Amino acid sequence: MSFNWLFYLNVANYLLSQRSEEYWRSAISRAYYAVFGAVRGILQSQGTQFKSDNIHRQVINQMKRHKNPTAQQIGVSLDRLRRERNKADYDDGISISYNEAFMALAVAQKIQRDLPAL
| pLDDT tens per residue, range 47-98 | 999 988 999 999 999 999 999 999 999 999 999 999 999 999 999 999 999 9
User: Which CA distances in Å does 17 have to 6, 26, 29, 38?
Assistant: 18, 12, 15, 23
Q: Is the dihedral of CA 72, 60, 62, 41 positive or negative?
A: negative
> Quick count: other Cβ atoms within 10 Å of Cβ 84?
21
How far apart are alpha carbons 78 and 59 in whole angstroms? 9
For the domain made up of 5-117, give the CATH fold: Four Helix Bundle (Hemerythrin (Met), subunit A) (1.20.120)
pTM (two decimals) = 0.95
Residue 11 — very low, low, confident or very high, per pLDDT cuts 50/70/90? very high
50 torsion bin: left (phi>0), alpha (psi -120 to 50), beta (else):
beta
Say if residue 1's pLDDT is above 80.
no
CA 63 → CA 15, 69, 72, 97, 106, distances in Å?
28, 9, 5, 29, 19
Average pLDDT score, the chain: 96
Q: Are 15 and 27 in contact (CB under 8 A)?
A: yes
What's the pLDDT at 2? 85
Looking at residue 103, what DSSP letter applies? H
